[in-house]
């Protein structure tokens, strides 16, 4: 049962959808005539990307990467591994990285360095969530949905051991749940 895994709902479905629409408008204004490419990090960032892409009213393309830094545990290993690379060439393109959450920032720091080497026109970060108190590296985030406290959250793409990504809201996961309890 969901009550067994949810401590509190931090960001409701309505709040997420409202913010996504605002970000879509902002990006459409900032990138008009720039033909941006939105790069999402599988799997968590995909839910956000799909809603965001429908809120953007200018021509743009999308692509995906898989980067692994967490495994199935709740704590970062600090080791970032590129599991799947982009299909598109991003040279001279306006790149927007679409993330679900920035925690320590180590994942994005690694990604930015690796993508910068391909000489894009620009790279900016768009993340739905950020835990600023957890940051280990300095990152410039151009588009931010919501700042959240240092709590482990699931929903809207974020998982615990691959489950709960489908929840339409962001909620704090009960810290005493050690065995997966399926919906
Ligand atoms: P870093 O520390 O590199 O981590 O910024 C980014 C990645 O860590 C995962 N992450 C979470 N996943 N609930 C989750 O389900 C959380 O509260 C959480 N905090 C970080 C996530 O995969 C993100 O891309
Ligand atoms: Mg995860």
Looking at the predicted structure, is the pLDDT value of residue 183 above 50?
Answer: no
Give the per-residue pLDDT at 73.
56
Is the ipTM beyond the 0.85 threshold? yes
Binding site membership of 107 for ligand 1 (Cβ less than 6 Å) = yes
Give the whole-angstrom CA distance, residue 74 versus residue 43. Answer: 16
Is domain 13-148 in CATH 1.10.15.40, yes or no?
no
Characterize the bridge pairing of strands 81-84 and 61-68: antiparallel
pTM of the model: 0.91
CA of 45, closest atom in ligand 1: 24
Q: What is the pLDDT of residues 111-127, one digit of tens each?
A: 899 899 999 999 999 99
Q: What is the pLDDT of residues 123-178, one digit of tens each?
A: 999 999 999 999 999 999 999 999 999 999 999 999 999 999 999 999 999 877 65
Looking at the CA of 164, name the nearest ligand: 1
> Catalytic residue positions?
103
Mean pLDDT rounded to a whole number for the chain: 91
- What are residue 123's DSSP bridge partners? 95
User: From ligand 2's centre to the CA of 162, what distance in Å?
Assistant: 7
Non-local CB neighbours of 25 within 8 Å, separated by 6+ positions: 55, 57
CA of 134, closest atom in ligand 1: 2
Non-local CB neighbours of 164 within 8 Å, separated by 6+ positions: 5, 154, 155, 158, 173, 183
Looking at the predicted structure, is the pLDDT value of residue 102 above 70?
Answer: yes
Give the whole-angstrom CA distance, residue 141 versus residue 102. Answer: 10
Binding site membership of 167 for ligand 1 (Cβ less than 6 Å) = no
């Amino acid at each position: 049962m969901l009550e067994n895994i949810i401590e509190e709902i931090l960001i409701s479905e309505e709040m997420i959808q409202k913010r996504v629409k605002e970000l879509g408008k902002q990006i459409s204004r900032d990138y008009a005539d720039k033909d941006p490419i939105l790069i999402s990090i599988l799997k968590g960032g995909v839910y956000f990307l799909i809603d965001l892409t429908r809120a953007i009213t200018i021509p743009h393309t999308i692509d995906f990467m898989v980067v692994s830094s967490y495994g199935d545990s709740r704590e970062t290993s600090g080791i970032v591994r590129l599991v799947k690379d982009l299909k598109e060439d991003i040279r001279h393109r306006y790149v927007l990285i679409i993330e679900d959450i920035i925690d320590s920032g180590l994942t994005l720091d690694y990604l930015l360095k690796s993508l910068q080497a391909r000489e894009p026109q620009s790279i900016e970060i768009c993340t739905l969530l950020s835990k600023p108190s957890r940051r280990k590296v300095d990152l410039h985030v151009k588009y931010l949905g919501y700042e959240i406290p240092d709590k482990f959250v699931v929903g809207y793409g974020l998982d615990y051991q691959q489950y709960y990504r489908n929840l339409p809201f962001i909620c704090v996961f009960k810290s005493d749940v050690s065995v997966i309890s399926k919906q």
